[in-house]
Amino acid sequence: MHYKKLVNFALFVIGWWTALLYGNAMALIALFLVLMLHFLMWRDIQDIFVVLGFIFCGFGVEWAFMASGVLDYGSNLPPAWSICIWAMLSITVRHSLAWLVGAPLWCVLAGLLLAPAFYANSIYFGPANWGLPTWQCLLVISLVWGLFAACVSRIMLTLMRTMEPVRNEV
């Protein structure tokens, strides 16, 4: 794996733990730093559209989880730290996790299996709670993320085939 891809994934993991463990303010700082480092490394301005797309999708998914009782964040809106995690995940889609885009079955399996583990960590280490029995929450999260991963895989495969990287060399 190319060192930049390893750094790309490490930035996501470090940012994810920072957001989860330290809340909204630190999540926003982590997001700023992660995005700054990402764009300094890759210099591909097209990534901003992926980031924005993940922010909007993340807000919708988290809100739907809250509205359906799957997750309880103790507020009426998804917390900033959870949306920051979505934004930080987005930087991996075209880089360190790009291999999943070309393998839709693996992408769906990753969504089905890994997302529930990440959300379970959010419950265990973070300020979130299950709204329904745990098995129901994990099942819903797994199915939603499997579908989301399939959609992202299809959309990104199409976009990555049609767009050449646009480098903003400074």
pLDDT, tens only, 67-125? 999 999 999 999 999 999 999 999 999 889 888 887 889 989 999 999 999 999 989 99
How far CA 27 is from CA of 16, 64, 85, 144, in Å, comes to: 8, 21, 8, 24
pLDDT higher than 80, residue 166: no
Domain count, the chain: 1
What pLDDT shows up at residue 163? 64
Contact 101, 157 (CB under 8 A): yes
Residue 34 belongs to a domain:
yes
| 50 token code pair | 């992926």
Residue 169, in any domain of the structure: no
What's the rounded Cα separation, in Å, for the pair 138 and 120?
8
Q: Are 4 and 41 in contact (CB under 8 A)?
A: yes
State how far the Cα of 7 lies from the Cα of 105, in Å rounded to an integer: 25
Q: Is residue 168 part of a domain?
A: no
Closest CA to 141 of 121, 105, 111: 111
Asked if the model's pLDDT at residue 20 lies above 80, the reply is yes
Report how far apart the first and last C-alpha atoms of the chain are (Å, whole number).
Answer: 26
Does residue 167 belong to any structural domain of this protein?
no
Distance CA 73, CA 86 (A): 16
Quote the tokens at residue 82: 């959870």
Greater model confidence, 113 or 156: 113
CB 125 within 8 A of CB 56: no
Q: What is the pTM assigned to this prediction?
A: 0.90
Q: Is residue 170 part of a domain?
A: no
Residue 168: predicted pLDDT: 56
Q: Which residues contact 67 (CB under 8 A, 6 or more apart)?
A: none
* List of residues 6+ apart from 84 with CB closer than 8 A: 15, 19, 27, 28, 30, 31
Residue bearing the bigger pLDDT, 164 or 145: 145
Full residue range of the structural domain in which residue 20 is found = 3-162
